[in-house]
Amino acid sequence: MSRKKPKGDIERIFFTFAEAQEFLGVSHQTLYKLMSQGLPSHKIGKKRVFLKEDVIRWIKEH
C-alpha cells in the first residue's frame, strides 16, 4: 500500500528570513550581519530565502 503526501504537505528546502532568524536564534540585525559575513541567501522575487543545506553547512564551517 503506497502512501501519497497530500498536495499541501510539500517539504520546503529553504527558510524564510523569519524562519532563519528563529533557527539561528538571532535578531533581524544579526542575520543581516551574518549575511555580510558570508551566510548564503537567495532572492525569490522580493523575498529573501536561505537554503537549509547552506545554513547548516555555513554553521559547521564557522
User: What topology does CATH give the domain 14-61?
Assistant: Arc Repressor Mutant, subunit A (1.10.10)
Average pLDDT, stretch 44-58? 96
pLDDT in tens, 28-41: 999 999 999 999 99
Contact 13, 51 (CB under 8 A): yes
Q: What is the residue extent of each domain of the chain?
A: 14-61
Predicted model pTM: 0.79
| Helices 52-61 + 17-24 axis angle, to 10 | 40
User: Is the distance from CB of 33 to CB of 24 less than 8 angstroms?
Assistant: no
Phi, psi of 21 (to 5 degrees): -60, -45
pLDDT in tens, 2-26: 555 556 788 899 999 999 999 999 9
